[in-house]
Amino acid sequence: MKTRDEAFSLLKQYTQSESLIKHALCVEAAMREAAIKNNEDVEKWGITGLIHDFDYEKYPEAPDHPLKGSEILKQEGYPDDIITAILGHATYTKTPRNTLMAKWLFALDELCGFIVAVALVRPDFLDSLEVKSVKKKLKDKAFARSVSREDIYKGAEELSINLDDLISFTIEALRKNKDKIGF
């Protein structure tokens, strides 16, 4: 198993954008909290969240991302379950999300991005962010238009979690880790 430092080094090797690095840190933090919630391997889940988009800046076109990244991860010796979860976070790969880790990565990826977008337009960022504010912005198709609302809804459905509960969980995970993320 690779270490978190090795995974972060891989991320930095392929990603220069500060916003993409922060997104990776957000998904890592949320995945770590999800692992704790589900009594799973916190390091493995965190690393999966950290590197899920490591190849995006170099290979932004579908299906290159995450297919080219998965080949790099294989060469680097990452375990199959991490690679499969990362492939599954992109619906167009048609990779089934058969593990809890894969389902959580899919559910948290777009949602983390959306919650951060909502928080960035608030004066106190995450401090007083509530579920209702996130849900209101979800209805505004012009806001953070690149975020797939369909993936957010489908992620909650695949986890059999009420969307409000998933949003609340994710807000709390990001709030708890905002210093580590760099916000």
**Cα(128)–Cα(55) distance, integer angstroms:** 33
pLDDT tier at 36, thresholds 50, 70, 90: very high
125: left (phi over 0), alpha (psi -120 to 50) or beta: left
* Chain length of the chain: 183
| For residue 8, pLDDT beyond 90 | yes
Q: Is the C-alpha dihedral spanning 122, 30, 169, 154 positive or negative?
A: positive
pLDDT at 62: 86
**Average per-residue pLDDT for the chain:** 96
Cβ-based neighbour number of residue 68 at 10 Å: 14
pLDDT at 18: 95
Average pLDDT over residues 12-29: 97
Q: Find how far residue 33's CA is from the centre of its chain.
A: 12
- Structure tokens that stand for 21 in this block: 């690095």
Q: Copy the structure tokens of residue 141.
A: 């198709």
48-52, 104-108, 121-125, 150-154: the lowest-pLDDT one: 121-125
Q: Is the pLDDT of residue 95 over 90?
A: yes
- Where along the chain do its domains lie? 4-181
pTM score of the predicted model: 0.97
Say yes or no to pLDDT of 182 above 90: no
What pLDDT band is residue 1 in, cutting at 50, 70 and 90? Answer: confident
Tokens of 14: 């392929």
Q: Tell me the C-alpha distance between 122 and 155, whole Å.
A: 25
User: Residue 144 — left, alpha, or beta (φ > 0 → left; ψ -120 to 50 → alpha)?
Assistant: left
Task: Tell me the average pLDDT across 78-91.
Answer: 97
Q: Considering the domain 4-181 in this protein, what is its CATH number? A: 1.10.3210
Q: What is the mean pLDDT of residues 100-124?
A: 97
Cα-based distances in Å from 14 to 11, 50, 108: 6, 12, 22
